Amino acid sequence: MNRRQFLRASATGLGAAALSLAGQAGGSKPLRTGMIGCGWYGKSDLFRLNQIAAIDVVSLCDVDRNMLAETVDWSTQRKAARGKIRLYSDYRKMLAEKDLDLVLIATPDHWHALTMIEAVKSGANVYCQKPISVDVLEGQAMLAAARKYNRTVQIGTQRRSTPHLIEARNQVVRDGKLGKVGLVEICCYYHMRNETNPPDTAPPANLDYEMWTGPAPMRPYNSLVHPRSWRAFMEYGNGIMGDMCVHMLDMTRWMLDLGWPKSISSSGGTLVQTGHKANISDTQLATFDFGDVKVVWQHRSWGDAPDPKYPWAATFYGEKGTLKAGVMSYDFTPAGKPAPSIHKDVTYEFEQYPEDRTEKDLERHVAPAIRGHMQDWLAAIAAKRRPVADIEQGHISTASCILANMSMSLGRSLTWDPAAHRVVGDAEANRLLARPYRSPWIHPTPDKV
């Protein structure tokens, strides 16, 4: 580490762990790092990691030559690479080198499973964006692979590392200020469903669209697909449920120490924003039944948010008070107001990391959470422990959201058996736990990773 990086890591109490990890990787050598998926969030993750650890960006993989070139330029400017970076369009060739300590995965969701499994097979520890998978069996196979190859896998559900939310968990929930919590309402009211109808065209010359599509169904190329708007289509992800609910459900489970829901029911569809190419729902409600705690989700990509301060958030209703928690702040209000309310805003770290102010496309309020998540990942690798957003936790949160979409599609509630990893008494639902893969790609299974 250089002095600046060491001081930053030490300031968080993880300097020793980071140094220990660097030693494990080869004395004082920087951690050899590769990334698969060099788009918007991939770069955000990579450069937060570079802010807190001594890394050497050795390999980059993307099916878009322009994305690769931009990431090389940024890595060089930020001194994240110590030499010439190897570039790939096929992740299998990159991972076949088996010389990476860390691999970041920030592809579209439909590519998470195959790339993550191959990365842990290659011996790398992995930071994988959420949701971990598009179907339940993929996630089960990813968990099996992480355990089989004994790799540390952190999932990008960074609400678990968000400073003001950690405070809310410790000083409100765990301190007993809420009392018994019986209901949590989680929501997203962002207008994030694409409402345009661009024509289908030939793919741009810089994009290998065949490889971009991979195991997903082949659609005619459309500018909505790449870059960044692929979430408009269920072929590549799980809609707003898989994109936004997974964060708030995961945060709720973490705050309340919840495991798998006992049953999931959901309804909704495209009720208002009709006539567009996007095929994800614009309205959806879901109930995740954890027994004595009910967690209820709602998203609308139209209309106003009931509370403009908390358009993407969780509201915890306890016998002693109410906690509203979102990415920008939290508010605790005691029942009957016998004690002072508590408010805390998002933490920024511009003095320590002034580059956060100017970085293109960076979600500035999320940068400290990503850094904290990366620090926890490195510390977990060094200590040989599970990280705060371990692959198993990512699988539970992701699969629960997938089951909600299945419930909406089937029109009935689903009872989940986590031991058997099956929907109880529902053969039709169980057939949907794995989606078809486009040839020649083969769907992974837990027994063949």
Pairing mode of beta strands 153-155, 125-128 = parallel
Determine the average pLDDT of the residues in 136-155.
Answer: 98
Topology of domain 161-348+393-448, CATH: Dihydrodipicolinate Reductase; domain 2 (3.30.360)
| pLDDT, position 60 | 98
What are the tens digits of pLDDT across the range 74-95? 999 999 999 999 999 999 999 9
**Tokens 């707003």, residue?**
240
Kindly tell me if the per-residue pLDDT of 14 is higher than 60: no
Kindly tell me if the per-residue pLDDT of 15 is higher than 60: no
Determine the average pLDDT of the residues in 339-360.
Answer: 94
Token pair belonging to 435 = 């989606």
| pLDDT, position 28 | 65
Q: Which residue has the higher pLDDT, 344 or 4?
A: 344
What are the tens digits of pLDDT across the range 219-239? 999 999 998 899 999 999 999
What mean pLDDT, rounded, does the chain reach?
Answer: 94
Cβ–Cβ < 8 Å for 10, 28: no
pLDDT band at 401 (very low <50, low <70, confident <90, very high): very high
Kindly tell me if the per-residue pLDDT of 8 is higher than 80: no
Domain ranges of the chain: 3-159+367-391, 161-348+393-448
Determine the average pLDDT of the residues in 305-313.
Answer: 97
Kindly tell me if the per-residue pLDDT of 25 is higher than 60: no
Kindly tell me if the per-residue pLDDT of 108 is higher than 80: yes
pLDDT band at 17 (very low <50, low <70, confident <90, very high): very low
CATH 3.40.50.620 fits 3-159+367-391, yes or no: no
User: What phi and psi, each to the nearest 5 degrees, are found at residue 134?
Assistant: -100, -25
User: What phi and psi, each to the nearest 5 degrees, are found at residue 119?
Assistant: -65, -45
What are the tens digits of pLDDT across the range 162-219? 999 999 999 999 999 999 999 999 999 999 999 999 999 999 999 999 999 999 999 9
Determine the average pLDDT of the residues in 367-384.
Answer: 98
- pTM recorded for the entire structure: 0.94
Cβ–Cβ < 8 Å for 63, 212: yes
pLDDT band at 336 (very low <50, low <70, confident <90, very high): confident
Determine the average pLDDT of the residues in 65-70.
Answer: 97
CB atoms within 10 A of CB 309: 11
